[in-house]
Amino acid sequence: MDEFELVDRYFRPLGSVAAGIVLGIGDDCAILDAPSDEQLVVTTDTHVESVHFPAGADAREIAYRSCVTSLSDVAAMGASARWASLAMTLPRAADSWLEAFARGVAEALQQCGAVLIGGDTTAGPLVITWHIIGTVAAGAALRRGGAQVGDLVYVSGTLGDAAGALELGLIDGGSYNKFQQELRARYWSPQPPFELARKLCGVATSCIDISDGLIADLAHIAESSDCGAEVEFSKIPIAPALLQLAGLERARRLAATGGDDYELCFTIPPSCESALLGLAGDAGLSVTQIGRMTSGAGVRVIADSGATVDLGQVGYRHFE
C-alpha cells in the first residue's frame, strides 16, 4: 500500500462537506472560506514517539491523544476548532495500526466538530504533526497576556492525574484497578473543556491550557501580563484517585508541577466570579479558585502556614 492508497482508505473518510470547506482532501492544498467577522486561530503541534508517547503504544490512543491535545490549544484561545491537517511519518503502513489510528482521530475530531482537510504521509520514524485552524469572533480571542493585578486565578477540573499515571507507570497496557484506570484515562484520553473555553470569552482576562504543568503555565500568563501570581497550595484541585494512589503530599506536587492535564488556567476580575460560576454550572464542569494575580513577577506557591513552598524546577522543557 502506497501513500495515496493509505490516504484514500483511512483518512479521506475523515474529511467531509462542512461549512467553510471549498476544497478538502485530495488536491495540492485545501481551500477554506472564513467568515468576515471572525479571525483565524492557528496552531501546530508535533508528537514524537518515545518523547511524547511511549514506543509501541496503542495506535488509537496515540491518535486520540495527539489530536485532542492539539485541539486544546485552540480551545484555550476561546476559539472553535474547525479544520485540521495531519502530517505523519510512519515506519510501516500496517492495516490494523492505521485502522485503529484513524478511529482515534475520528473520536478526537468529533469532540469539537473539527474536520480533516488534508496532510502528508512519509516513510520514517513515527512522528505525528497536527495543524489546527479555528475561528473566533474578531477581537474576542483569549490570550496569555491581559491579566491584571487583583484578578482571581482559576483552573478547571482536577490536576496531576496524567502526570501521576506517568510517574506511577500506568500508561502501558495491562490490568489496572479502578483508580489506576482513572489516571491512565486522564493521560491517554484527556477531555479539554471546549464548551467552557468558548464561554470564557468576555469573562476571562487571560487563559492558557495546562500542558507543561500548572505553575509553569501560570508563569506564562504572569510574564505575558507583566504581573506576578500567588497560588494557595492546598486549593489546587486533586481527584480522589490520585490522592488514593499517590498520597496527599505527592499528589499536591504532581498537581502543581505535572503536565498533560489539558485543563484551563485562567484569570477573571472578582466582579465576574458569579458569572463564571454560572457558566461552569451550565457546562457541568468544576472550576476552582486557587490564587490571585499580584504585583511583581513570577509565581509564588503558598502553604497554609503562609510559607513559600519550594517545588524545585517546574514544567517540561525540550533541550534541557
Domains and CATH numbers, the chain: 3-137 (3.30.1330.10), 152-302 (3.90.650.10)
Q: Which residues pair with 291 in a beta bridge?
A: 153, 231
User: Can you read off the three cell numbers belonging to residue 204?
Assistant: 476571562
Q: What percent of the chain shows pLDDT beyond 90?
A: 80
Q: Is the pLDDT of residue 27 over 70?
A: yes
Burial grade of 40 (CB within 10 A; 0-12, 13-18, 19 or more)? middle
Given the C-alpha cell 500542558, which residue does it identify? 211
Across 188-202, b (16+ Cβ under 10 Å) vs e yields bbbebbbebbbbbbe
Predicted confidence (pLDDT) per residue in 5-21, tens digit? 778 888 888 887 677 89
Entry pTM: 0.92
| Opening angle at CA 2, ends 101 and 49, nearest 5 | 40
Q: What is the mean pLDDT of the chain?
A: 93
Q: Give the torsion through C-alpha atoms of 96, 55, 124, 97, to 10 deg.
A: 10
Gap between the Cα atoms of 201 and 179, Å rounded: 35
Gap between the Cα atoms of 301 and 98, Å rounded: 45
Gap between the Cα atoms of 196 and 284, Å rounded: 9
What pLDDT score was predicted for residue 320? Answer: 61
Closest C-alpha among 87, 105, 117 to residue 18? 117
What pLDDT score was predicted for residue 292? Answer: 98
What pLDDT score was predicted for residue 316? Answer: 60
Closest C-alpha among 204, 189, 87 to residue 140? 204
Structure-model confidence comparison of residues 17 and 75, the more confident one: 75
Q: Is the pLDDT of residue 146 over 80?
A: yes
